[in-house]
Amino acid sequence: MFYESTRGPAEPLGTAEVITAGIAPDGGLYVPRKLPELPWREWIGLDYGAVAAGVLRLFADDLPAESLAAAAAVYGDGRFGAAGPAPLVQAGPFGVLELWHGPTAAFKDMALQALPLLLSASARLTAAGREILILTATSGDTGKAALEGFRDVPGTRVCVFYPDGGVSAVQEKQMLTGGGANTFVIGVRGNFDVCQSAVKAAFTSESLRKSLAERQMLFSSANSINWGRLLPQIAYYVWAYLEAVRQGRAEAGAPVNAAVPTGNFGNILAAWYARRMGLPLGRLLCASNRNNILADFFRDGCYDTRREFYRTASPSMDILLSSNFERLLYEAGGRDGKKIRLWYAELRENGRFQVEEKVLAACRAVFTGGWTDEDACRAAIARVWRDWGYLLDPHTAVAWQMAESYRAESGDETYTIITSTASPFKFAPAVLNALTGAPPANDPWADLGALADRTGWTLPAALAGLKDKEERRDVLLAPDEIVGWIERKFA
């Protein structure tokens, strides 16, 4: 299996090399040259770990079989709880794929529990004993999942950068507690886009790369720009489809739609890959919150960041620069690195770019964009609880609302799976507010208990006792101080 950069041309690399590198030196993202055929019919009846192992084997043909087996074993060793890593539950008209049973109560665990094993195995093949410095920008959930996954993993150090004041109280507390000797948590002044761009700049800084190399260190990423993040995510779409068939919601071979609460476009892009590999997925519903840049793009083909940035109740989707969208555009634009370079240069200079009709049509052949405002998100949480006794977190509620609107407007009755990306307890103040109409108590910890009392749902182990843990934040930086800080700290 070989990969190329979306801003190529570059030397084609194998899976181990692209997982170690994270991002291409030209600033592009690695994509597979050719996708394998997915033998999903042969996998009917397998457990989650076996499905995940099957997906990993299709791509990572350069990694030792026992490393892939070890990476897939994380889904079966109990760390995802008794219900398994990805239960598909029926809530009213929709299937809900609960991806938040891992150690940090958000879907990022689905990839970030396996990634350290994939990355360590990759580095053994390609990094010749060098230490790996993992830089990660987070809108809240990736940070904690990366810290959990990489804590005390030999040969790695992890720096997590998050927008100061741009994550929920629970998310911040999670990141600031329970770190290891190799983990660093850094607040950044500015929103997530500012934070992500600054980290990307560090990655592509030639001088920083050089001084790290002198110290026998190299960069990698735990963000979904790393192919090693997307790869394990493909598995849960395959699993979800097989579950829908097993539960009798769809005939084997019949299409199933997926509705995905979207920020950086990593989750939904994994669905696109699965579909491209032959999984019978129908339409992919790309759901945004009020930061609705993707919904606008799917309407008119203009990617326009010249707009207000909103803080919403679904902070992990408060993103205007969706990094993985570049991978879709690369495919839709005919796999032309020059085109991507032009579009992204235009974006840097003018804050926008427009794709041709043909490219937009290729995107719209699979994706439908939509968005949900704050009132409709709250209303969806309250309505779904009242009508179906099912509790949505604000991110999942955005996708639920879009799936409902899409069904009403299009008349498309295809069985639809909503990927549920976080435990409602992770966003207890917003969820409680949606249920009661009362303003949040200004005490997120009291809200956790109140939400459990009100609904009878059980607080995830990951969040119980969190309040009293000791906090550690390494430093608060302006975006332009990040490169210098890394230099001083590690190089």
Q: Enumerate the active-site residues.
A: 108
Query: Among 87-95, 110-118, 181-189, 262-270, which window interacts with ligand PLP (CB under 6 A)?
Result: 262-270
> Is the CB of 156 or the CB of 262 nearer to ligand PLP?
262
Query: Among 36-44, 255-263, 401-409, 467-475, which window interacts with ligand PLP (CB under 6 A)?
Result: 255-263
Query: Among 30-38, 187-195, 259-267, 451-459, which window interacts with ligand PLP (CB under 6 A)?
Result: 259-267
Rounded distance between C-alpha atoms, residue 69 and residue 387, angstroms: 42
Query: Among 33-41, 100-108, 249-257, 442-450, which window interacts with ligand PLP (CB under 6 A)?
Result: 100-108
Place of tokens 């993985």: 324
Size of the site for ligand PLP (CB under 6 A): 17
> Is the CB of 220 or the CB of 224 nearer to ligand PLP?
224
421 is an interface residue for ligand PLP by CB under 6 A: yes
> Is the CB of 146 or the CB of 482 nearer to ligand PLP?
146
Q: Binding residue for ligand PLP (CB under 6 A) from 114, 259, 317, 381?
A: 317
> Is the CB of 15 or the CB of 264 nearer to ligand PLP?
264
Do 271 and 244 form a contact (C-beta atoms < 8 A)?
no
Rounded distance between C-alpha atoms, residue 447 and residue 425, angstroms: 9
424 is an interface residue for ligand PLP by CB under 6 A: no
Least distance from ligand PLP to the Cβ atom of residue 483, Å: 24
Least distance from ligand PLP to the Cβ atom of residue 15, Å: 20
383 is an interface residue for ligand PLP by CB under 6 A: no
> Is the CB of 191 or the CB of 267 nearer to ligand PLP?
267
289 is an interface residue for ligand PLP by CB under 6 A: no
Summarize as ranges the residues that interact with ligand PLP (CB under 6 A).
106-108, 141, 224, 261-267, 316-317, 395, 421-422
